């Protein structure tokens, strides 16, 4: 049986009203919020950092904040993000020389540990780190921008991880919507990010319902 959680990405929503956009998504049935942090170095785009997350936390006291840290030097922001109210901290394996130490730093801070993998990076780069991780994020687009096309080839990575690590949380992110969510869930992803497909839809509630119906028991 398939059962997964839906975490909308607010990247392509109205960022001048982040709290309003987030609350709307939660009211529509989001299980958690996927928050995309970009620093203009690790990816060629900029979004927001821990000061904004801290303000968002004031207005959204209970939702699970899943931080997708598309930043160089991810070790720099662990303490600040924890203080800001983050629940999970996903760094990119490509962004650090010392992933094991970083996993431990995140765990000690009290957040869940996520490790992200870009499309061109082998899934085997995290083989020795799974013990330290709560979640692995398989990118299904090149990180940096919302609204790109889903890369179905990445499902091989998801299946490999699911087969070898039945208890691991596996997240997919990029180009996921009603047409692509089923293959993600079938491959074994249980945390599903969807941005543009939801927030740019004519009827976001309808899209959220359809996503939820595909993966909820």
Q: Output the known binding site for substrate.
A: 9, 68, 144-147, 175, 195-196
- Smallest separation (angstroms) from ligand DX5 to the CB of 108: 26
- Is residue 178 within 8 A of residue 185, CB to CB? The reply is no
Q: How far apart are the first and last CA of the chain?
A: 8
56-64, 105-113, 136-144, 152-160 -> range binding ligand DX5 (CB under 6 A) = 136-144
Query: At residue 151, what are phi and psi to the nearest 5 degrees?
Result: -100, 100
Task: Tell which one of 24, 115, 173, 176 touches Zn ion (CB under 5 A).
Answer: 173
Is 80 among the residues known to form the active site? Answer: no
Catalytically annotated residue among 31, 39, 169, 173: 173
Cβ within 8 Å of residue 22, ≥6 positions away: 10, 13, 33, 56, 59, 60, 63
Element containing residue 66 per DSSP (H, E): strand 65-70
- Show contacts with ligand DX5 in window 65-84 (CB under 6 A): 68
Helix axes 18-27, 50-59, angle to 10 degrees: 50
- Among 13-21, 82-90, 117-125, 145-153, the segment contacting ligand DX5 (CB under 6 A): 145-153
The yes or no reply on residue 174 touching ligand DX5 (CB under 6 A) is yes
Q: Interface with ligand DX5 by CB under 6 A: which range of 14-22, 56-64, 139-147, 161-169?
A: 139-147
Q: How far is the CB of 144 from Zn ion (least distance, A)?
A: 10
Is 173 among the residues known to form the active site?
yes
Residue ranges that bind Zn ion, judged by CB under 5 A: 36, 68, 173
């Amino acid at each position: 049986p398939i059962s997964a959680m839906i975490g909308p990405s607010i990247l392509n929503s109205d960022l001048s009203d982040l709290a309003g956009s987030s609350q709307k998504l939660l009211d529509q049935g989001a299980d958690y919020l996927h928050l995309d942090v970009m620093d203009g170095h690790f990816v060629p785009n900029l979004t927001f950092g821990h000061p904004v997350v801290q303000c968002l936390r004031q207005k959204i006291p209970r939702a699970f904040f899943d931080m997708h840290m598309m930043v160089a030097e991810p070790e720099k922001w662990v303490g600040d993000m924890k203080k800001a109210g983050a629940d999970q901290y996903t760094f990119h394996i490509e962004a650090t020389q010392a992933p094991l130490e970083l996993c431990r730093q995140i765990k000690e801070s009290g957040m869940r540990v996520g490790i992200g993998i870009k499309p061109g990076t082998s899934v085997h780069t995290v083989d020795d780190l799974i013990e330290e991780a709560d979640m692995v994020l398989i990118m299904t687009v090149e990180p940096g921008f919302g609204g790109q096309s889903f890369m179905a080839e990445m499902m091989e990575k998801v299946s490999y991880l699911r087969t070898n690590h039945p208890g691991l949380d596996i997240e997919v992110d990029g180009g996921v919507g009603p047409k692509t969510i089923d293959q993600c869930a079938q491959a074994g992803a249980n945390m599903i990010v969807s941005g543009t497909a939801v927030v740019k839809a004519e009827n976001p509630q309808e899209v959220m319902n359809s996503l939820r119906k595909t993966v909820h028991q």
